[in-house]
Structure 1
């Protein structure tokens, strides 16, 4: 746990000294109720035995689980609500979850002891006493290359090694379905920092459906850790579990790892290795990368063949954009008739020349303030406004309790948010939400959800950027047909199309119209996702202007 959370003024947990233990029991109860049929013998024994231990022992165990590392000194485990750490640790040692007086190496000992304690433990000569700890370690290492009990090194304290931490990490994985969420989610929720939508959890919504799912996730995680530590991609690839599971959520994680391995093969200029990985990978963009590495490997014929197939059924606008850029190069290599690269619709352009302001400023803010008028206010919104309107209108569809979408109470959004079938699996629900744009009822739904869901975590709604004035102007000035076009495009590719919106929006309330404005400062240029959004808006008569700002000489 983060001490700042526990000691913050007005902390509502201050009168609940064992709140962290209560939260840990909530996790164990949740896992026992929902995943009992998937647990191995060690996990089942822990769930059965842990509640039987004395409260101070259970509390000390959880404190150790939530801290970094596996080695702890008794003097550093002082908690008022627990009391004597040595007495609390004894039942944990009897259960085999903690080792008292563990064998530690010299390096581990140096991590545990402070410099004066090291000098006392080793009777260092005067010249070495003043040296840095790393120099002391190097000087002692040759004579102390083995492990020995902590008490054999130092007699001024006791030490413990928590050996059940991997087990608890596994239980945390089963609960959250990932390793990036941890026990602080409970604290942040209890303190009101995060609020989460309450979703009904059916048995079919379990993230892990079989023990094989758990083991495969653990294997993927181990491979991802090895890759992150710099291991050669070929060695990691050898241990990536084969496909075959019907768990789409797990399949997407496997595909993401394969894509990262393919990128590393490319950096190593191993074109064949990269192509072999991309060919078997369903991650967005993998097919375009496969074509690119075939081109780099001068295998122009197979690259052209795969490109033509991809152009017939592009996976997304982003892929189509990349394919059209590659096509003229490949055609030239093969001697095909010259073809022009696909061109996007040109945006409207506004050129401004303004004096560079003094003090703190930012380009978008300068343009906003310059264009803003009483009868035509301008707001900096970027990705916040349209995404928020979408999230408020489609709240029920986004948080629908379909299998594999939600499987614990701390989801910021559906687990399958970025999967290719996110929209398809909720097509009827999204259709019902978007139909409100046709009959006008969308206004009441958005207003209602702004109040009813305020502050609840959502992958689409930017609460800090949305206020009633901005929302009312948007509902008054943006035609529902334009909102529908924008929302449908978000649903085409949630991961790619949640970003790339223009920086500013200007409203003319008296005329019930608006314009989006992308701001580019000196030397800046449009990014690919911005170009795609601008092209889409131009094709659907949604007003977008690109403002190019230059500074005048003063």
Structure 2
């Protein structure tokens, strides 16, 4: 923390950096009040600016002056005076009963409301419930004392009036509400390093002020849904987000989640209507399932046949193949012969249980590994890292809705259905290197130049130069292309499910993947899909079943 603490106003500098960033890139999306805020903030004394940022970065909008005691700011009341003159902070706010309970401690509440006996000893929540029956008032703190005849604490309550504007500016900068000001600190400390991405005007996530309003409306709908409001009530207020692919994708995801809620509540009609109107991945398969649950097998089977003609992904195809036999039975149709699966090699091992701490993949790794044929535990790390290093430039291509600020762990639209489609040319250029041998040098170069920079694909902690060189020497470019193409086909589903272990024979320039299952374990859906894909394309893979020797 030394690096941050050397500058006691680090948080103010970070906030001002955000304002400068927004002014330089989004001035045309600001209204007059927001532009006035930027100008007025810059003209404030440093202590006032610092106090404003301290409040803006804390939770809530009500603060006690006694809790805003910061050495670098000094006199809190003096620092607050210019903020109050601008109307940004109210130093005598009207407080509802719930507000009073939020800012005062239990002993202070007992004095303010003159509580005695059992009422004084009751839990704070019970005191609030009791007093709600007596007080529907909203008064300044001194007014509450006058009303109750009690004693208010010798403190001032500040109401931060500008939080909605600060939230809007934070959204414009980060492009979301899950990141906050701590990103600056993590970067300053060197804990996280981020790829430097160009931010041309054409790549802005928010292109119009209406885009920002649509995001805020979507966020409000998401909050209402999360807080238990009926989905169909929330649905009426969902903004269309037309013309912005990134926002449209977020809308579809929320619609899918609301449909899932209706399905769990057995509101078949409501769920079906939302699923049918939602292009989010998985919605069509859920619509088929809802039709089946609602005793409409004919409609379910018709939609299944339509989906089977053009599955949206391997994951959907897997679901459809499981539902089809059940629906055919319900309709009295004959059983269809299953398509023959590509054979997968099986290895059964019976090994003594280690006396020390162990994990099944490690036991199998140690058993199979040899001096000339080392085995590594890689699971999803190796394939994703090779993909991420080869396709680094494509992943970090600045396109609208992908990057908003310098603190990106990856593109904001990474899991959007059109992620690949929006970068087709860039990914094609990266994968073309697999055809002429350039890929190995690109991977090595990015491994060195980008080391420890945040990436949604590269597992820096699991990859070293020795493993990288073995992989480049032993895995054919044609196999690496197949891995990359499948990851791109469905990033959300296909980034996981890779076999646990990989074994190399460097003298023979070959490799073998091994999925390990311990006693009682079974293959998961995404593992089954990867195993089938590897077997289909003649990539060497084995499923190892470990049992403990008696």
TM-score band, normalised by the shorter chain? over 0.9
Match of 1:172? 170
Distance 1:139 1:223 in 2: 32
Q: How does 1:37-436 map to 2 (within 5 A)?
A: 37-125=28-116, 128-138=119-129, 140-152=131-143, 153=145, 154-242=152-240, 245-342=242-339, 344-436=341-433
Distance 1:55 1:294 in 2: 63
Tell me whether 1:499 sits opposite 2:496 in the alignment.
yes
Q: Secondary structure at the match of 1:337?
A: coil
Distance 2:118 2:259 in 1: 52
Post-superposition CA distance 1:110-138 (Å, at most 9, x none): 33223333344344435555554344445
Distance 1:97 1:350 in 2: 70
Alpha carbons 1:478, 1:514 under 8 Å: kept: yes
Q: CA deviation at 1:106?
A: 3.2
Structure 2 portions without partners, runs of 5+: 146-151
Distance 2:118 2:418 in 1: 67
Match of 2:549? 552
Q: Secondary structure at the match of 2:5?
A: coil
Tell me whether 1:14 sits opposite 2:5 in the alignment.
yes
Q: CA deviation at 1:514?
A: 1.2
Distance 1:298 1:126 in 2: 61
Q: Secondary structure at the match of 1:262?
A: helix
Q: CA deviation at 1:40?
A: 3.1
Distance 2:341 2:454 in 1: 36
| TM-score scaled by length of structure 2 | 0.94
Going from structure 1 to structure 2, the CA distance change for 1:261 and 1:15 (only over 3 Å counts) comes to same
Post-superposition CA distance 1:170-209 (Å, at most 9, x none): 1111111111111111111111111111111111111111
Post-superposition CA distance 1:416-457 (Å, at most 9, x none): 222222222222222222222222222211111111000111
Q: Secondary structure at the match of 1:352?
A: strand
| TM-score scaled by length of structure 1 | 0.94
Q: Secondary structure at the match of 1:193?
A: coil
Distance 2:502 2:416 in 1: 30
Post-superposition CA distance 1:356-411 (Å, at most 9, x none): 23343222122222222222211111111110011111111111123332232122
Alpha carbons 2:108, 2:153 under 8 Å: kept: no
Going from structure 1 to structure 2, the CA distance change for 1:340 and 1:70 (only over 3 Å counts) comes to farther
Distance 1:97 1:344 in 2: 67
Post-superposition CA distance 1:319-373 (Å, at most 9, x none): 1111122222222333333214556434211111222233432221222222222
Post-superposition CA distance 1:258-294 (Å, at most 9, x none): 1001101110111111111011111111111111111
Match of 1:29 among 20, 38, 44: 20
Distance 2:362 2:200 in 1: 47
| Deviates most, 302-311 or 336-345 | 336-345
Distance 1:155 1:350 in 2: 73
Match of 1:468? 465
Alpha carbons 1:328, 1:341 under 8 Å: kept: no
Tell me whether 1:535 sits opposite 2:509 in the alignment.
no
Distance 2:285 2:531 in 1: 22
Match of 2:149? none
Going from structure 1 to structure 2, the CA distance change for 1:511 and 1:111 (only over 3 Å counts) comes to same
Q: Secondary structure at the match of 2:4?
A: coil
Distance 2:100 2:450 in 1: 51
Alpha carbons 1:344, 1:531 under 8 Å: kept: no
Q: CA deviation at 1:299?
A: 2.1
Q: State the number of aligned residues.
A: 543
Going from structure 1 to structure 2, the CA distance change for 1:55 and 1:282 (only over 3 Å counts) comes to same
Going from structure 1 to structure 2, the CA distance change for 1:165 and 1:359 (only over 3 Å counts) comes to farther
Alpha carbons 2:204, 2:399 under 8 Å: kept: no
| Deviates most, 254-263 or 314-323 | 314-323
Going from structure 1 to structure 2, the CA distance change for 1:469 and 1:156 (only over 3 Å counts) comes to same
Q: CA deviation at 1:255?
A: 0.4
Distance 2:349 2:88 in 1: 68
Match of 1:3? none
Alpha carbons 1:73, 1:158 under 8 Å: kept: yes
Distance 1:443 1:266 in 2: 48
| Deviates most, 36-45 or 516-525 | 36-45
| Deviates most, 285-294 or 428-437 | 428-437
Distance 1:134 1:273 in 2: 37
Q: Secondary structure at the match of 2:109?
A: helix
Q: CA deviation at 1:141?
A: 4.4
Distance 2:305 2:243 in 1: 30
